Amino acid sequence: MESSLLYEQDILLWVEDTVAKLKARDFENIDIENLIEEVESLGISQKKELISRLIVILEHLLKRLYVDSSYDFHGWERTVRTQRNNLQVLIDQVPSLKRLWDTSFDKAWNIALKTVCEDYPNVDFPTEWSYSREIEAMLNERFWLNSEG
């Protein structure tokens, strides 16, 4: 079966076929167009995962810091911990994501702030993140211990 047709019908078989051809150095028979597309999409998905995890962390930090609901504090803190662990694994596996941190943080902040403002319209959330936005702080700092909430 032609590689590009295999790509459309069964992506897993296409991947296995492509890997076998790469290992055999059978470069003439590789479906190069779809290989390029897949490699590009892999990078895009890593960037999206970084932003997605930051959004969840920031949403839950904002709720924990500014929403007066002690009943929910533990759940929000647990979600922050889980997402931080997942983010740490991602950064360990893809260290080059660190160079995208500031831009990703800004995008995630805007989305997280919009979401919590919609979910909690009576809460006065800050328009800017007033704590450290450095990677180490976002992965480890328990910001709520330094707040009044």
Domain count, the chain: 1
Q: Is residue 24 part of a domain?
A: no
Q: Is residue 14 part of a domain?
A: no
Q: Is residue 97 part of a domain?
A: yes
pTM: 0.81
Judge residue 27's burial from the number of C-beta atoms within 10 Å of its C-beta, 0-12 exposed, 13-18 middle, 19 or more buried.
exposed
Residue span of the structural domain in which 103 resides:
49-146
Quick one: tokens of 26? Answer: 């059978």
The segments of the chain whose pLDDT lies below 50 read 149
- Which of 45, 53, 55 lies closest to 84, judged by CA? 53
Q: Is residue 33 part of a domain?
A: no
Q: What is the pLDDT of residue 61?
A: 97
Q: Which residue has the tokens 């992506």?
A: 11
Q: Is residue 42 part of a domain?
A: no
Q: What is the pLDDT of residue 65?
A: 96
Q: What is the pLDDT of residue 1?
A: 64
4 contacts 17 by C-beta, under 8 angstroms: no
Judge residue 112's burial from the number of C-beta atoms within 10 Å of its C-beta, 0-12 exposed, 13-18 middle, 19 or more buried.
buried
Q: What is the pLDDT of residue 147?
A: 63
Q: Is residue 12 part of a domain?
A: no
Q: What is the pLDDT of residue 149?
A: 44
Q: Is residue 9 part of a domain?
A: no
* Alpha-helical runs (H) found in 94-146: 101-119, 135-140
Q: What is the pLDDT of residue 22?
A: 93
Rg (CA), the chain: 21
Q: What is the pLDDT of residue 109?
A: 98
Q: Is residue 93 part of a domain?
A: yes
101 contacts 135 by C-beta, under 8 angstroms: yes
